């Protein structure tokens, strides 16, 4: 364990209640950053550097719709910090994308890569659009035009995107092809989350959910509990939540409830996860699932359970409902599901929170494996991928837990301290370019 980077400053900020808007994802994230920076006694200059994104790009994304109509969307790409290596972060297509959200997610990626100690910085991107209202051809045009708009920052040594909300392997294939056509040769390492036949990694799709299972197992062991027969509720039955639920069930856990945007479903004896996976594979949603009781998403969040996995949206656990949470462990499969104000309430109730920058870092870890395999031109079997992922996730959990014990802080602040210390150390070693 390295010694923290020390300085002589105290971070001063306005009162939480007046300063922090819970709905502002960047300020919510920075609330935790400030707490960790204060405990580290971070140098004032480094504090300014680490609180400021390196690059924020806004591009117009004009396309010709199938109808012949011209539409212009807005695209963003934020590189938050690249001191430890190329920027790494997903691209999302969603009508709710904002620059503040992308900036927050890019910062999260910076700390996430640092907390699991992989050689990437943090980035994020997005296009303000509704892909559900587009044809496949229109979606491809948006992807390629957006890629060309940010192409100067992309590259295996500079900025490596990945899938995120409403993007997938196909979108990554289009990005890779667009970039490769500009470079006049195939560059597989420019994106991760690609189809395996194009240089994607085995185990990548399951990696985030698998990472959630691994750190949850560690957390339960720390509390003297076991995964066997642990009662679990999972909010969000997309890629992360469904894989986490499936793997936890295979470890012996009882999955009490799951949900998606169409509703939440509960069975006190435990849901049949393979049956649920087959149901959603056919219909692409949970709506109408007949073998469980219907409950609300809010009821799911406040179920009496051992483990709660919020794996859907940001800011679902707030100061309004945190007091009702009865889980012993929260594993944050989503980015930013718990607000800073809710953190204080959960801590006072003794809830053990595995923070997002640790809990869902399995995805970026296997993205790193994919990037390594692409650059080396040698690919690993799935057992090797999963074994190396388990090694990194369990080691990272233990490191954060050590910092938590050492500084007598919760796991979230400890994770930020580990991450900030590593990024700050790199800046100190590299010095300031003038």
| Among the listed residues 300, 275, 301, the one whose alpha carbon sits nearest the alpha carbon of residue 286 | 275
Q: Of the candidates 167, 165, 194, 166, which has an alpha carbon nearest to the alpha carbon of residue 180?
A: 194
Residue 53: which residues within 8 A CB-CB, separation 6 or more? 78, 79, 80, 81, 103, 106, 107
Going by C-beta distance under 8 Å and a sequence separation of 6 or more, which residues neighbour residue 400?
115, 358, 411, 414, 415, 418
- Do 53-198 and 207-359 agree at the fold level? yes
C-beta separation of 425 from 2 below 8 A: yes
> How is the chain split into domains, by residue range?
53-198, 207-359
pLDDT in tens, the chain (434 residues): 444 333 333 333 334 443 344 567 777 778 889 999 999 999 999 999 999 999 999 999 999 999 999 999 999 999 999 999 999 999 999 999 999 989 989 999 999 999 999 999 999 999 999 999 999 999 999 999 999 999 999 999 999 999 998 999 999 999 999 999 999 999 999 999 999 999 999 999 999 999 999 999 999 999 999 999 899 999 999 999 999 999 999 999 999 999 999 999 999 999 999 999 999 999 989 999 999 999 999 999 999 999 999 999 888 999 999 999 999 999 999 988 998 899 999 999 999 999 999 999 999 999 999 999 999 999 999 999 999 999 999 999 999 999 999 999 999 999 999 999 999 999 999 998 87
CA separation for the pair 207, 389 (Å, rounded): 8
pLDDT at 22: 56
Q: Provide DSSP, 36-56.
A: HHHHHT--HHHHHHHTS-SEE
Task: For 53-198, give the CATH class.
Answer: alpha beta
Options 3.40.50.10190, 3.40.50.720, 3.20.20.140, 3.40.47.10; CATH of 207-359: 3.40.50.720
**CA 269 – CA 249 distance, rounded (Å):** 12
Q: What are the backbone dihedrals phi and psi of residue 162, each rounded to the nearest 5 degrees, phi first? A: -155, 170
Distance between CA atoms of residues 77 and 125, nearest Å:
4
Q: 211 is written with which tokens?
A: 């990472």
> Please, what is the Cα angle at 59 between 239 and 162, to 5 degrees?
25
Task: Give the C-alpha separation, 265 to 284, whole Å.
Answer: 15
From the list 88, 103, 124, 328, the catalytic residue is 124
The question of whether 16 is a catalytic residue gets the answer no
Which are the contacts of 420, defined by CB distance < 8 A and separation ≥ 6? 33, 36, 37, 40, 42, 50, 111, 114
Q: pTM higher than 0.85, yes or no?
A: yes
pLDDT at 328: 98
Q: What is the reported pLDDT for 330? A: 98
């Amino acid at each position: 364990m390295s010694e923290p980077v020390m300085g002589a400053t105290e971070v001063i900020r306005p009162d939480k209640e007046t300063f922090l808007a819970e709905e502002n994802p960047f300020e919510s994230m920075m609330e935790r950053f400030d707490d960790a920076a204060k405990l580290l006694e971070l140098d004032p200059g480094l504090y300014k550097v680490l609180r400021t994104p390196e690059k924020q790009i806004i591009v117009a994304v004009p396309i010709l719709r199938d109808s012949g109509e011209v539409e212009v969307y807005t695209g963003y790409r934020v590189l938050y910090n690249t001191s430890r290596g190329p920027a790494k972060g997903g691209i999302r297509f969603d009508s709710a994308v904002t620059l503040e959200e992308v900036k927050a997610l890019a910062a999260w990626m910076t700390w996430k890569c640092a907390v699991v100690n992989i050689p990437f910085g943090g980035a994020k991107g997005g296009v303000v659009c509704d892909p559900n209202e587009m044809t496949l051809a229109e979606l491809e045009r948006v992807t390629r035009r957006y890629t060309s708009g940010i192409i100067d920052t992309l590259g295996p040594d500079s900025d490596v995107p990945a899938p995120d909300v409403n993007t997938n392997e196909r979108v990554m294939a289009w990005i890779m092809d667009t970039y490769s056509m500009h470079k006049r040769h195939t560059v597989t390492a420019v994106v991760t989350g690609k189809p395996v036949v194009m240089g994607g990694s085995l185990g990548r799709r399951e990696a985030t959910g698998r990472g959630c299972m691994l750190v949850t197992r560690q957390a339960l062991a720390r509390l003297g509990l076991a995964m066997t027969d642990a009662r679990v509720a999972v909010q969000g039955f997309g890629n992360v939540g469904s894989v986490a639920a499936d793997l936890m069930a295979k470890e012996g856990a009882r999955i009490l409830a799951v949900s998606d945007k169409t509703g939440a479903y509960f069975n006190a004896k435990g849901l049949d996860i393979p049956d649920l996976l087959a149901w959603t594979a056919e219909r692409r949603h949970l709506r109408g699932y007949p073998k469980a009781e219907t409950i609300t998403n809010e009821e799911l969040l406040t179920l009496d359970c051992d483990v709660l996995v919020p794996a859907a949206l940001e800011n679902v656990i707030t100061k309004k409902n945190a007091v009702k949470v009865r889980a012993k462990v929260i594993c944050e499969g989503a980015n930013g599901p718990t607000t800073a104000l809710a953190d204080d309430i959960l801590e006072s109730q003794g809830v053990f929170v595995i923070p997002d920058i640790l809990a869902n870092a399995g995805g970026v870890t296997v993205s790193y494996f994919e990037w390594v395999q692409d650059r080396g031109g040698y690919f690993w079997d799935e057992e090797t991928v999963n074994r190396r992922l388990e090694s990194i996730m369990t080691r990272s959990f233990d490191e954060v837990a050590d910092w938590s014990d050492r500084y007598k802080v919760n796991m979230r602040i400890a994770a930020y301290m580990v991450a900030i210390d590593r990024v700050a150390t790199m800046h100190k070693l590299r010095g300031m370019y003038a």
